[in-house]
Every structure is written in C-alpha cells, then in structure tokens.
A and B are shown apart, each in its own frame.
Chain A
Amino acid sequence: MRGKLLVGVVVLWAVAVVGGMAMLADYKYRPGARADEQPLWPADSKLARGRAVPTLVMFAHPKCTCTRASLTELAELMAEARGNVRAHVVFMKPSEQDGDWAHSDTWDQAREIRGVEVSIDVDAAEAHRFGAQTSGQVVLYGVDGRLLYAGGITSARGHVGTSIGHRRLLALLTHRATDAHTGNVYGCALAEREKDAPR
C-alpha cells in the first residue's frame, strides 16, 4: 500500500515537473509584441542613417535581463559584418527618471560593442517612430532607407545561440540576400501595455 502511494506521489511529481518545464518553455519561447513596421526610415528620427552602408537599430530596455542575449548576438553580428553596417542601440528611459536609470549592465555591454552608437531614448519616443514595442527589437534599413529586416536576434527570451533572425541579418549584411524579412522578437515590453491592447 505504501509502495503504491509512493509510486502515485512520484507520478504526480513527474506530471508537476513536466508541467513546470512546459510553462517555463512557453514563457521563454513566447514572442513579444511585434513592431509596427515602418517600411521607410522615419523622417522624424533623430538617429543618423548610414549613406554608404545599411543602418541597424536595436531598441532596448536597460533593465531587461533578456536583452543581454540580444546584445551578445549583436556583438557577434557586428564582428561578422566587418563594418558593413552602421548600428545604434537605443535605450529607453522614462522622462521622470534621471540619467543613471538607463546606465545598467546592458548599457555597458552595448558600449563595449565595436562600431555601435549607444543613446538614450526618453520615453521611448524613437522606438515609437520605428514602431518598436519589445526590448531587443532590431530594424535594418538599406542605404535607400527601405526596411530590410524587423524582428529579434535571438531564438528565445534571453537565450543566446544561433537564431533565424541572426542568420537573416547576416545574409542581408553580406549581400547574400536582399529580400525584406520579419521575425519574432523576445524580450521585455518597452512601455506599459494598455489593458485592452492585444498582446
């Protein structure tokens, strides 16, 4: 009787563990809100666009720990692109917060990436111009100002490693592809969602 009870407890444990792992996986692999893609470089953007090379912009929440993986992938991409891209990492900051609020470990991580310009985006105004809603959102515009890629650069929330987005960006930057692409993005929301807004 005790043996059967123990087996039952172990089975329940197994179900709970598998369920927990599934919930964790669901969280990790559930994409954030996609960008409201802008087919052309927003005219009112304060960011400088490359005239000779494509321009890549990553929008980031300075406190989002998932964005570390996005920056790790960006660093690798920049090395692979060999200077054939102009890159910005734009950190949002609420206007009521002081400047140090955005100076997080991800800020330092972004500044260490060679060839990347790091800036603060007060109240995510620049993100709004590009339609970005999720930290880690990457947009790539060609020299003609047309959108080439909009999406993430990781395969899951805070998960380093090869991803479709990374490979598409690399293909575009090395002229092995020219078609525009979109992809999923994984990370924290750049701004509070309205209660009725669809996720």
Chain B
Amino acid sequence: MTGPDTDGAVVARRAHEIFAGRFDANVKRVDRMFIYLMAAQWLCAIALALWFSPYAWEGRIKTTHVHVLAAVVLGGLLSGMPIFLALVRPGAIGTRFVIAAAQMLWSGLLIHLMGGRIETHFHVFGSLAFLAFYRDWRVLVPATVVVAADHVVRQVFWPESVFGVLTPEAWRFLEHAFWVVFEDVFLVLSCLAGVKEMRGAAEQQARIEVSERREKELASTIQTSILPRTLAVEGLDVAAVMATATEVGGDYYEVLPVADGCWIGIGDVAGHGLPAGLVMLQTQSAVGALVGQDPTASPDHVLCGVNRVLYENIRKRLHHDEHVTMSLMRYHRDGRVVFAGAHEDIVVWRAATGTCETIATPGTWLGMTSDIRRATVNTACQLHPDDVMLLYTDGVTEAMDGKREQFGLARLCASLEEVARGTVEQIRDHLLARVRAWSPEQVDDITILVARYRDVDAVRVTTPRRSVPRFTAQSALDAI
C-alpha cells in the first residue's frame, strides 16, 4: 500500500501531466485562433488597400499603389509564416514567438495602410491582449521588442513620422515603449494568475483521479480475491481464469465443493467497472449463502433465491438497472450435471468422438423482476470419462478483430478441439491465448472455466490462474 508521501508524489506527477496537457492544449487552441486572425488580417489589408488607395498617380497616368502590393505581398509574408508554423508546429514556443512578432508587424502595416490614423494604433494594444490568451508571458517579450525596435528605427531614420519633429530627444522612443510595457505589466500578471489557476485545477483533478484509482484498485483486489482459491473437486479437473477489462470486472465464476460433487456458477453482470463489480460481489455472496444453507437444493431453486436478493438490492434499494446473466449447475460424482439459468451455451467436448457439442441454457436474466420461477427450469446433461465441459462469458465469443469480426462459438469449439486432450490448464491457456491473439485490445471481461470429468478414483487438485495479484491477508490489511 502506498503511503501519504508516495501519494503526494503521485499526485504531483499527475498534476504536472494534467497541467502540461492543458497548457499545451490552450496554446494550440490560441495558435489555431491566430491562423484565422492572420488570414482575416491579410484579407482585410487587401480590401483596405483596394478600397482606399488602389492607384498612385503621375498626372494622367495611374499605377497600382504600393499599398496594394504591400498588402498582398508583405501581408502575405506576415500571415503566411505564422499560419504555416501554427499548422506544422502547433504549440511550439517558437511558433508563438513568430506569431507575436508578426502580429505586432501587422500593426505597423495596418497603420501604414490606414494613413497613420490614430485609431489604428489601438491594434497594437489589442494584439498584446490577444497574445495574452496564450497565458505565456514570454510571448509578450518579442512583441514588445518589435514595437520598441520599430520606434528606435523610426527615431533614427524618420523621426518626423512618429514624433513630428526632426530631432527628438534620444529617450523619446521610450515614451512610446513605456505605454506598451505599461499594458505588458497587467498582461504578465494576468498570464501568471492564469497559470497558477491552471496548476491549482490540475492538482485538484490529480487528487480526484488518484483517489478514484485507489478505490477501484481496492474494489478490484477484493473482487478477484473472493474467486475460488482452489478448484479441488472429486472426479473433476478444473482450471479457470478471469481477465478483467477494467480494474473492476462484472464477470463471475464459482466452484463450491459439496458432498457428492460441487456447485459451479458462471455469470456476467451487464456492463463493467465498479457498479458491475459490486453486483458481482452480491451475486457471489448470495450463491455462497444459499448453497451453504442447503447443498442439496436444486439449481432453479437457488437461482430464484439469488434473483430475489439481487432484485431487492439493485432495483429497490440502489435504484440501479444492472442485471446478471448466469448459469448455476450442480455436478454429481457420477458425471451428471443439472443446471439452470440463462447464460452462454455450454460446450462439451466428447472424448469418444473428439468433437464438441453445445447445450443451450434456457432461462432469464437475474435482477430484472422479483420472481423468475416460471422462466427458470432445470436441465440435465451427462458427462462421460475424459469429456471436457467449457464455460465462458461473452468476452470470449464477442471479442472482435480489426475487421470487427467476432471470435464466435464455432471458432471457440475449433480451438477447444485442437487441445482438448491436454490438461485443463493447457486448454485454459490455449483458449485465452487464441482470444487475445484474435483481439489484442481487450474491451470486455473474459472468463474461461474448463472442467474434465474423470473417474471418481482419479481426483486432482489444481489452483485457478489469476490475471490480477492475489489477495492475501497482508494485502487486505494494507488496503484497509
């Protein structure tokens, strides 16, 4: 179990990941905004030039005005590179630096095109505010440098254009730059506050995620730990595996040895995750209690009892809509198997013929209605020596490949026939490998239970394979 210090480190690391992801998403979003702004500025500049100053004149002769050329060519350059970088290198700091510089140069070009109108100078301050959307104060540096450099160059070469005199004081450009820096101060503070807020939100999110993950891990540990520890049954070799798609699965299997055989259950709660896992726990508890109370009961009787418990808890108390498909069977030492409850078809590989047969499991879902007695019937089948009975959940047959084709019952039977003369562990592992090869990305819980009928004299004890860490007394204490 991880302690508070370790948790703190995990939270800090996760908070940093979340913050970095959100910061990156934000700067990419603003990059995209500038793509549109740059394109719009270019089109506006061309329109302005064509509208206000399409031609220059020399007496009777007209030529295209330099403003038009500047709008098309220079404006194209100013917008082209930022758009290109925003498309090929979104989120890179160099991209937003180029965007910042280009945006301030756009102010200069628009001021030229608008004949130096004082109103156009507001573009400078609007652009700085727009750049602050990045929440990265560093982009204001190249923007401010461009404005200051523009004024320095003008002061040296064209002082009248910006100061109205031919010999301005050496510090005069600083007066103009000061007002830019004045706005910068507020924007930098705004950026820093925005980043601080993002970090706080990321840390809060990280705490929630870590807490939820630990709760799921705990629930998963408990759930998988209540699976049968040993599968020792007289006259039956049993091997099983349950691989959950999420930390908490909705699959269920049970092997409860009793005198003259055992009870075997297999089921699947609709959905998976924590709610499905909790329903699975209730199912396991109800089966254990009812079978323990009366080991000689018939499967349909036990199943109706389980249904009453689930209906009461899920529908009436929790007001949830989960339900369970489940087959519960009673195995007798003489190879007789009596079962009830709707689930996947039972596959029986007959040693005498070397082929599989499938047995339907009539019945209805558990937990949907208060009384399922009319729909629940007992069915019997006979196992002969060396016959193999295969139970599974829909995570096996409905596993899809890249073309969305399901693994299917026929492929499952064929896979069983390939290895049916091996040990039950070999059969279990072979089937699981086939399913995983068919569908490398597991989206549903997978449960496989393999049982081979032996003569009563040939009793073996095997242990189930677990896809999750074993639950021990020490781990239970740690979890608590």
Contact = CB atoms under 8 A, between A and B. Distances in A.
Interface in A56-115: 61, 63-66, 68-69, 92, 94
A44 interface: no
19 contacts: A17-B74, A21-B108, A25-B161, A63-B55, A63-B62, A65-B52, A92-B59, A94-B60, A155-B160, A155-B161, A158-B115, A159-B115, A159-B116, A160-B118, A161-B116, A162-B164, A164-B160, A189-B58, A191-B59
B65 A65 contact: yes
Interface string B155-170: 0011011001110000
A192 B60 contact: yes
Contacts of A124: 59
Interface size class on chain B is 35 or more
A63 B78 CA distance: 29
Nearest to A63: B57
A133 to B, nearest CB: 10
A190 interface: yes
Given A21-B74, A24-B74, A188 B112 contact: no
B373 interface: no
Interface in B153-206: 154, 157-158, 160-161, 164-166
A68 B115 contact: yes
B102 to A, nearest CB: 8
A156 interface: yes
Interface in A116-131: 124
Interface in A123-177: 124, 135, 155-156, 158-164, 167
Nearest to B165: A164
A14 B105 CA distance: 11
B77 A164 contact: no
A29 B52 CA distance: 19
Interface of B: 52-62, 65-66, 70, 73-74, 77-78, 81, 85, 89, 94, 98, 101-102, 105, 108-109, 112, 115-118, 154, 157-158, 160-161, 164-166
Contact of B105 (A21, A27, A135, A193): A21
A20 B77 contact: yes
Interface string A175-199: 0000000000000111111000000
Interface of A: 6-7, 9-10, 13-14, 16-17, 20-21, 24-25, 27-29, 61, 63-66, 68-69, 92, 94, 124, 135, 155-156, 158-164, 167, 188-193
Contacts of A161: 116, 118, 164
Nearest to A12: B81
Contacts of A92: 59
Contacts of B105: 17, 21
Contact of A17 (B55, B62, B77, B85): B77
B59 A94 contact: yes
A122 to B, nearest CB: 13
B58 A193 contact: yes
Contacts of B117: 160
A192 B61 contact: yes
A164 B158 CA distance: 12
Given A24-B109, A63-B55, A69 B78 contact: no
Contacts of B160: 155-156, 163-164
Given A63-B62, A68-B115, A155-B160, 14 more contacts: A16-B77, A17-B74, A17-B77, A25-B112, A25-B158, A25-B161, A64-B57, A159-B161, A161-B116, A161-B164, A164-B165, A191-B58, A191-B59, A193-B58
> Which of A6, A21, A27, A163 has the most chain B CB within a 10 Å cutoff?
A21
A65 B53 contact: yes
Contacts of B81: 9-10, 13
B311 to A, nearest CB: 64
Nearest to A123: B59
A198 B28 CA distance: 54
Contact of B59 (A24, A66, A155, A192): A192
Contact of A163 (B58, B101, B164): B164
Given A94-B60, A159-B115, A161-B116, A29 B158 contact: yes
Contact of B115 (A17, A21, A69, A162): A69
Nearest to B62: A63
A160 B116 contact: yes
A164 B59 contact: no
A153 to B, nearest CB: 12
Nearest to A156: B161
